[in-house]
Amino acid sequence: MNWNGFIPQYVEFFANGTRSHSNTGDGPEYEATFSVDQHFSPTLQKRANAISVVAYGLPPGSGTTPQASTPCLVDVAVIPLPNALRAYLTGANKSSEGLSLKLKFAFPQNKPAGAFTLPVLGTMGGEVSVAGQFSYHIRTRQWEMEIGSEFEGESSKYSAFKLQLGPMDDISAEIKGKGKGTASISHGIDFSGFEVGAALALSGKHKIADFTPFSLLGPVVHLVTDRVKWAKKKLKAVTVQIWFKPGLNGELEMEAYPDFGVTSFELTGTGAVEAEYESKKFRIYVGGEPRIKFGIPGEFFKELRVKAYAGIEVSLWVFDFETEYVFIEFPNDSASSMNAQAAPPAEEVGVLAATSNATAGWRPMVRPWRQVGEEKFMAAPPEAPPSETNEPGEASSGLDAFIRMGQSVSEENSAPEGGGVAAMMIPSDPETPVEATFPLLENVFPKSEPALAGRGNELMLLYVRDTGAASTVQFTEVAFSRFDGVMWSAPESISSDPRGQFDPQVAYDGDGNAMAVFARVKDAGFAGVEPEDMSAQMEIVWSRWDNATATWSTPEALTDNAFLDFKPQLSGPLADGDLLLTWNQNEANETDGTGAPGAVTNMRVMTRRWDRATQTWSAAEVLVTDLTGELSESLAAAGDKGVYAWTLDMDDEAEGYEAAEVFYRLYNATTGIWGAATRHTTDAVPDRNARVVLDAAGNVYAVWSRNDDLVMDVNFAGTPTVVRTGSTDMGFEDFAATIGPAGNLALIWQEMTEHGADAHYRVYDPASGTWGQDSFLSQDSDLERSFAPVWDAAGNLTLAYNNVQITKVTKNVVVEGGGVIEVEGVPQPGQVDLMLAKRALVRDLVAVPEGLTADGTTFLPGDALTLKARVKNSGNLAVSNVEVAFYDGDPDNGGTLIGAEIIPGWLEAAAETEVTLNWTVPQPEQARTIHLKIDPASLVSESDETNNTLALPINGVDLALEYQSGSVLRDGSARVVVKVRNLSAPESPVTTLRLKAADGGATLAETSVSQLAPGQSVDIPFDLIAGTHPEGDRAYLLVIDEEDFASDIDLENNESPFALNLWIDDDGDGIPRWWEQSHGMSDSNPANATLDADGDGFDALAEFLSGTDPNNNQSKLGVGQFNTSTSAETGISTSAISWAPVVGRLYRVERSFDLSAWQIVADDVEPTPPQNSVTDATTPPGGRVFYRVVVK
């Protein structure tokens, strides 16, 4: 306050004419704080809100009466929040200074949705919802709205479509949109032009749920299990995963004015429902392509057509038992019935069995692979060396890696005498591959069931192949291929024999000779067409590979009887080089033991020992007798020990496996005596599907399915630990287990994923006592099964397996009741290849990208930073006490160590953890880059050292703009003050600051900004010449360093929008000059405000406030339509009031029963040209009610 010689008395502050504060004292500064909510109202009218200040002082001399100064007026612009956002104010956040507002929203409140309950799969449905956030900065009047925001901690928010199919996780198609602007006093925050339209797509592949075969395949499974008794045992404890691959496309359009809303939406297309499983005895395929259509306006669920196929096949030797059906058929297009969410008509949905099921039974295989031709050997040596211009094919390149991996160990590390493998070698040479896969044979017999044995780098592979014989039941033989460390031999049969051969097993004895054991049909003339007929023909035979002569001996029978001998298992070598053999017998020729104790239908397990010194087999003896309800069996032999484990359902008639338990017998190789049969588990949960292996120290590792998990127990100690949870998938039924030279236990299995039925493996690390996470052996659409694993001399996991190519076909199913149903997109097995693979067990520490961060304030000297880094072990083996070092600068180029942290204990395979270090930025002020290095001393032998480092620049020039103030004079000149600050280091160069018109981007003024030290700021004024700013609102934009000479690290804060308003009202009649002059009035005559030139009953001031034309009597604020109706029953009067709105104005609708007291019906109603309408329901006393529309 400049008192100009007056004696200060007091200063009064007024808010909209009401005194709110009176301050005394000499000043010269006086202060008052006003509550915006209490003193002001949101409005788009100029000068509607103002603060006035009047000072009272005694005149110089002897004056005793205070004199008042001329009032000082300050306009206060309180802009109303758009109607679309008001409902979301409850959860809004504002800055601590109250200068910014941020709120989140989702609409529509009642989401368009539709859902259906489908047989088997469950619920199918979808809904539309759009989420976003809005922010507004009061000082600059800048607003920004983003549609499709991802909100931390609010996973339920999504934009724009969410699909549900069964109990699967919801999958979404997202929409993204962004808009920003600057609010003005006359128009406020204007969303009228904000619209978002975007294409939508649902893709990927998603798991629907796990189903038991009985719940998925229903009566068809019972048809199979009623005929094949042992099938029920295998199927009742497993689950099948169904996956859905949507292929939906469409569009969504939304608007934000006058309210948030979805104006149109359509999503249509097909999806793929699929599951594919193959084990040694079962094959299950599910598939179909449902067609779906959602949309608005109108009924949301517009179309649903779902047809899906399911088939199950049971196999035994060369016989198949196949059934199939269509389990959903829904051709109804009636949107109304769908949206009612009622069950569709019975004739349109159901489980429709194929007519062929009525006569389903065992039949010999059809052999479609013969139409393609004979199997093809893919590892044959090339006839000529490849030229430099020829790229190696898949097989040759994979084979080359396979060979190199096995040779990554020196000769002194090769296998010792008597068998076994050398200590594991982790490849440290980056040129040495860590994995290899290649097809050894293409188009093999689908039931080739490979068996693999290893000795050092030598491998012996056995498999079953189709001889091409005309017989429908005797066309298989056991063939072999040998790998000598460099080359695979061309496949040959062990013996040329017309009798069918199955189930090969192979192991090396202590002399390095391979032993083959397999099942063979006794009678070369057998031609029965039922498995029961072949059972009595099955015998166990053996043949020995002489490593010196490279020949197989003539196969000889180990059994010769009139009943079933099958399921051979061979293991070893023992310490003396001998081998152990077991097989199953059933005198009733049944493949599953059934009946009371002592019944001839029960199973028994036999055993024999191969003596490598005498090259003879011991006499057969019974290992386990009187077996009924057997679920699995497993044999292991090494050192001076052997172990045979089996699982048994103690209550074979029960629906579940609660009575399933694990049993075992141990073998003393020194004495040649088997220990007593021992029941290992005695709990009330299912214990089944066991595997056993022996390590070099003689420890027994038993892994089995316990309830829904895989568990492991060492030496049958009775303290099983969880290997893997949720392991009921059907692919686990044939899981393989093998233990490596360093005691690493590997499990391999088949499981459905988003890629298909892929091969997985998981490795146990005995050093840390931990299991790694699942790793993929393959990630493709093919199916992998029948895993035969061993280890090579370098400690690589080596295995043979079958790769089944999956193709999509159209199935035409003739169903019961007549008719053919066509189902498209059904996965079916195609060509089967025999694959070889190696996987190195490695340690691989990885600095996770985006995981290196620095939290601080200025990042200048003295600032306390928190450095964080994420470290992952991407290998198969755990790593202990990993060191993680942080450097100021590149450590290889003069960087200095900030500090190091140790990750305590074991970092398990596939595990990830965060390391934190506190650091204060030192002098001098300069640009800095933080470098991270894992294992800086290279103490950990890793497969890849290149992913151990990361770098993060923590500062650099960061110029930021802050709009400070702006004022406009009546001649259109203006003064703007902006603060420029360098938020970081180093010193900024000389840059240019520009002030532009926001509408066209034309530069109105510019000036140079001097160099700014880190943290330094400068206030820079702009003086715009007269005539720059017109009367009314105008938006501007401040831009610093548009050319980016400073290489700014954050360009987001290099712009600052703002707006100014010029109000001239010389005659003080409340109407700005520009409006009066544009409508033929004078700004020097306050009486103009009361003129009604067009005679419409509204004077000029009212026309200005309403936004109407004072010279057009049709342009006025008035009720256009007024309709009312009163209920005779309730007395409630419902009225609809309509009027013609004007953009840039807000309205309030009020009601009165006596034209004296008025009640607000609707407030801050935004304009929706050409007509606004408000409906009100009330019970008027006296039977009458009045309404009026008020402009704000």
pLDDT in tens, 195-225: 888 788 777 778 888 888 888 877 778 888 8
For residues 99 and 20, state if they share a domain: no
Q: Domain containing 849 — which CATH number?
A: 2.60.40.10
Residue 745 maps to a domain: no
Return contacts of 67-74, CB within 8 angstroms, 24+ apart. 67/6, 74/50
How far apart, in whole angstroms, are the C-alpha atoms of residue 456 and residue 648? 37
Q: Which residue has the higher pLDDT, 688 or 1015?
A: 688
Within 10 A of 644 (CB to CB), how many other CB atoms are there? 25
For residues 220 and 109, state if they share a domain: yes
Max mean pLDDT range (81-85, 139-143, 351-355, 1146-1150): 1146-1150
Q: Where are the alpha helices (DSSP H) in 174-299?
A: 213-217, 219-227, 229-235
Q: Mean pLDDT, to the nearest integer, of 901-924? A: 95
For residues 16 and 102, state if they share a domain: no
Residues 544-595 pLDDT 10s: 999 999 999 999 999 999 999 999 999 999 999 999 999 999 999 999 998 8
How far apart, in whole angstroms, are the C-alpha atoms of residue 221 and residue 235? 9
Nearest to 39 by CA among 54, 51, 29: 51
Residue 722 maps to a domain: no
Q: Mean pLDDT, to the nearest integer, of 1025-1052? A: 91
Is the pLDDT confidence value at 336 over 60?
A: no
Q: Lowest-confidence range among 61-70, 379-388, 702-711?
A: 379-388
How far apart, in whole angstroms, are the C-alpha atoms of residue 561 and residue 620? 13
For residues 505 and 597, state if they share a domain: yes
427 close to 943: Cβ distance less than 8 angstroms: yes
1013 close to 994: Cβ distance less than 8 angstroms: no
Nearest to 707 by CA among 658, 747, 751, 752: 658
Is the pLDDT confidence value at 1075 over 60?
A: yes
For residues 596 and 466, state if they share a domain: yes
Give the H/E segment covering residue 788. Answer: strand 783-791
Q: What is the pLDDT of residue 226?
A: 85
Residue that finishes a domain, picked among 583, 602, 628: 628
Residue 816 maps to a domain: no
- Which are the contacts of 827, defined by CB distance < 8 A and separation ≥ 6? 274, 275, 276, 285, 286, 287, 806, 807, 808
Is the pLDDT confidence value at 185 over 90?
A: no
Within 10 A of 1077 (CB to CB), how many other CB atoms are there? 12
Structure tokens at 564: 């079933």
- How much of the chain exceeds pLDDT 70, in percent? 92
For residues 228 and 271, state if they share a domain: yes
Q: If you compute the radius of gyration of the chain from its CA atoms, what whole number of angstroms results?
A: 42
How far apart, in whole angstroms, are the C-alpha atoms of residue 237 and residue 210? 12
461 close to 482: Cβ distance less than 8 angstroms: yes
Residue 146 maps to a domain: yes
- By CB atoms closer than 10 A (0-12, 13-18, 19+), residue 736 is middle
For residues 145 and 260, state if they share a domain: yes
Structure tokens at 855: 């939290």
- Which are the contacts of 404, defined by CB distance < 8 A and separation ≥ 6? 432, 433, 436
CA separation, residue 222 to residues 238, 311, 325, 758 (Å): 15, 13, 13, 28
Is the pLDDT confidence value at 674 over 80?
A: yes
Q: Mean pLDDT, to the nearest integer, of 830-845? A: 96
How far apart, in whole angstroms, are the C-alpha atoms of residue 700 and residue 965? 81
Q: Lowest-confidence range among 336-350, 686-700, 774-788, 1108-1122?
A: 336-350
Q: What is the pLDDT of residue 395?
A: 60
* Beta bridge partner(s), residue 539: 520
For residues 1035 and 896, state if they share a domain: no
Residue 167: pLDDT band (50, 70, 90) is low
Q: Mean pLDDT, to the nearest integer, of 337-353? A: 47
639 three-class SS: strand
Q: What is the pLDDT of residue 783?
A: 97
Residue that finishes a domain, picked among 308, 342, 364: 364
Residue 119: pLDDT band (50, 70, 90) is low
The DSSP code sequence of 423-471 is: PP-----TTS-SEEEEEEEES--TT---EEEEETTEEEEEEEEE---S-
1049 close to 929: Cβ distance less than 8 angstroms: no
How far apart, in whole angstroms, are the C-alpha atoms of residue 483 and residue 521? 29
How far apart, in whole angstroms, are the C-alpha atoms of residue 538 and residue 1171? 90
Residue 729 maps to a domain: no
How far apart, in whole angstroms, are the C-alpha atoms of residue 462 and residue 449? 8
Q: What is the pLDDT of residue 411?
A: 37
Nearest to 313 by CA among 289, 270, 280, 291: 280
Nearest to 756 by CA among 783, 796, 792: 783
Split into its structural domains, the chain has a count of 6
Q: In what order do the strands lie in the sheet with 1017-1024?
A: 959-968, 974-982, 1017-1024
Q: Domain containing 563 — which CATH number?
A: 2.120.10.10
3-state secondary structure string across 194-212: CEEEEEEEECCCEEEEEEC
Is the pLDDT confidence value at 669 over 90?
A: yes
Residues 19-65 pLDDT 10s: 999 999 999 999 999 998 899 988 888 778 999 999 999 988 877 88
Residue 771 maps to a domain: no
Is the pLDDT confidence value at 174 over 80?
A: no
| Whether pTM exceeds 0.85 | no
Residue 725 maps to a domain: no
Instruction: Please give the angle made by the CA atoms of 408, 414 and 420, to the nearest 5 degrees.
Output: 120
How far apart, in whole angstroms, are the C-alpha atoms of residue 535 and residue 561? 11
Distance of CA 357 to the CA centre of its chain: 40
- How much of the chain exceeds pLDDT 90, in percent? 61
Instruction: Please give the angle made by the CA atoms of 506, 511 and 513, to the nearest 5 degrees.
Output: 35
Q: What is the pLDDT of residue 309?
A: 93
Q: Mean pLDDT, to the nearest integer, of 273-298? A: 91
For residues 90 and 71, state if they share a domain: no
For residues 1013 and 1115, state if they share a domain: no
CA separation, residue 692 to residues 347, 423, 503, 581, 1173 (Å): 52, 21, 19, 15, 79
Residues 748-772 pLDDT 10s: 999 998 889 999 999 999 999 999 9
79 close to 41: Cβ distance less than 8 angstroms: no
Q: Half-sphere exposure (CA, 13 Å, Cβ side) for 1068?
A: 1
Structure tokens at 340: 């009612």
Q: What is the pLDDT of residue 169?
A: 58
How far apart, in whole angstroms, are the C-alpha atoms of residue 213 and residue 235? 6
603 close to 233: Cβ distance less than 8 angstroms: no
How far apart, in whole angstroms, are the C-alpha atoms of residue 1048 and residue 1001? 22
Is the pLDDT confidence value at 417 over 90?
A: no
> Dihedral (C-alpha) 932, 934, 936, 940: value to the nearest 10 degrees?
-170
Mean pLDDT for the chain overall: 88
How far apart, in whole angstroms, are the C-alpha atoms of residue 397 and residue 380? 13
1099 three-class SS: coil
How far apart, in whole angstroms, are the C-alpha atoms of residue 326 and residue 101? 57
Residue 998: pLDDT band (50, 70, 90) is confident
> Dihedral (C-alpha) 1046, 1051, 1053, 1059: value to the nearest 10 degrees?
100
For residues 63 and 105, state if they share a domain: no
Residue 100: pLDDT band (50, 70, 90) is confident
How far apart, in whole angstroms, are the C-alpha atoms of residue 935 and residue 373? 55
Residue 435 maps to a domain: no
- By CB atoms closer than 10 A (0-12, 13-18, 19+), residue 412 is exposed
Residue that finishes a domain, picked among 948, 979, 998: 948
> 1014 is in which domain, residue-wise?
959-1062
* Beta bridge partner(s), residue 10: 24, 56
Residue 1054: pLDDT band (50, 70, 90) is very high
Instruction: Please give the angle made by the CA atoms of 1050, 1056 and 1061, to the nearest 5 degrees.
Output: 175
One-letter amino acid of 922: P
Is the pLDDT confidence value at 874 over 70?
A: yes
For residues 459 and 577, state if they share a domain: yes
